[in-house]
Amino acid sequence: MDRVRVGIVGVGNIATLNVPGYLAHERAEVAALCDPRPDVLERRAREWGVAKCYSRVEDLLADDGIDAVEVLSPTPLHAEHVLAAVAAGKHVSCQKPIANSVADARRMIAAARDAGVTFRVTENCCHYPPLRKARDLVRAGAIGTPTVVRIKTVVGRTDSEFQANLDPSGYGWRFDARSPGGHLFDDVMHKYAMALWLVDAHVRSVQAVVRTGPLFFEAPTVALWEYDRDDLLGIMEVSYAPDMFIRSDHFGADEFFEIQGTSGFLWVTRLCGQLHDLPPLVLYEEDGRRSAFADLDATYDGSFRRAAADFVDALVGGHEVDLAPGTALEALQLAFAVYAASNERRPVDPSGIETAVSPAGWPPGPEKLRRDVEQMFARESARAARLARPGA
């Protein structure tokens, strides 16, 4: 194949970050879009100059002018859409989380393998140059043997144009029983994937405390895991700081990654937000030397463009795809193991999870959501009043 004709399934919020990489790639063509919402479909088709539009996935998949699909539909539909695309002989890239259950993820992987098509999970973190370089450095032994992986995620508020333009309807399916969990299942899936991908290791046991926060947030959360090597542990923290401003061009969130090795450290910052003014990757070596990789592209949207380009390049050039669906499946098991460990207050082996696990109290009922929204508005009004005070 020397040119890839891509069909986009779902043109909601994240499509605005995922599709530009296909539009810009010289070996790709965005051949068709599909979405059941005619107004959104028409607007995106106009913005991106795409002539063919479908309101039903089966019609897009019956189009012989499409070689591959990018699945950007709500997560509860991933299994159905990926299985149908694979059955139609299309190569598939599907946004994270791979699926709502481990059994579905296994079916998707097996179906793609049997059909002989390429299947990858769209994980923009794999295409964020500071994380990619960090992984290369770990593999090259730059910090000796990794001993502790620490990942921190914080959600706050921001004033980015991207966030202000998000369509709130994209949050409906995330807050109810169509999803097995909230923020830890959704955004934090990236961090679970990185915990596995950065050190090329598997997790054999998880302990965690997950607290219920407002809306769909599950914070504060602290999880601790053992990898399949006795000398390597992982720690993850997730916090929600609704009154804290985060500099960001996109979502009001940020994350930091730290890999400690027997002879050095790696620090990766500035993925989604810019809380720190640090270079996006810093290497600390055994002799105390510090190298800052300040020239790496640390833009969030750049990681999505590279993710799209890499899928096209993999189809054209035949190289391995990231994120491999097997790792995405393990990330899903890790997410469910964190919920199970907190629910049951005991260590859990993620490899034993074959279905889905939800956190205690999930999904939030309408009464709780109403209270959370009221509190959010009250906080916003109090902040506006504080800022309006003379001298503020």
Ligand X SMILES: NC(=O)c1ccc[n+]([C@@H]2O[C@H](COP(=O)([O-])OP(=O)(O)OC[C@H]3O[C@@H](n4cnc5c(N)ncnc54)[C@H](O)[C@@H]3O)[C@@H](O)[C@H]2O)c1
Nearer to ligand X, 25 or 174 (CB): 174
Nearer to ligand X, 168 or 391 (CB): 168
Among 5, 14, 144, 274, binds ligand X (CB under 6 A): 14
Site for ligand X contains 38 (CB under 6 A): no
Candidate ranges 73-81, 109-117, 153-161, 329-337; the one touching ligand X (CB under 6 A): 73-81
Paired residues of 330 in beta bridges? none
Near ligand X in 102-141, by CB under 6 A: 124
Site for ligand X contains 35 (CB under 6 A): yes
Candidate ranges 36-44, 153-161, 237-245, 377-385; the one touching ligand X (CB under 6 A): 36-44
Hey, is 94 helix, strand or coil? strand
Nearer to ligand X, 97 or 359 (CB): 97
Round to whole Å and give the CA distance between 169 and 263.
Answer: 48
Nearer to ligand X, 159 or 167 (CB): 167
Site for ligand X contains 9 (CB under 6 A): yes
Are 145 and 262 within 8 A, CB to CB? yes
Site for ligand X contains 77 (CB under 6 A): yes
E runs forming strands in 123-264: 146-157, 203-210, 221-227, 233-245, 253-261
Round to whole Å and give the CA distance between 297 and 130.
Answer: 8
Nearer to ligand X, 77 or 316 (CB): 77
Candidate ranges 28-36, 108-116, 334-342, 347-355; the one touching ligand X (CB under 6 A): 28-36
State the alpha helices, DSSP H only, in the chain: 15-24, 38-48, 57-61, 78-87, 102-115, 129-139, 161-164, 189-197, 300-317, 325-344, 366-388
Round to whole Å and give the CA distance between 99 and 81.
Answer: 10
Near ligand X in 347-376, by CB under 6 A: none
Count of Cβ atoms closer than 10 Å to residue 311 Cβ: 27
Are 74 and 10 within 8 A, CB to CB? yes
Site for ligand X contains 42 (CB under 6 A): no
Site for ligand X contains 11 (CB under 6 A): yes
Q: Which residues bind ligand X (CB under 6 A)?
A: 9-14, 34-37, 40, 57, 72-75, 77, 95-96, 124, 167, 170, 186
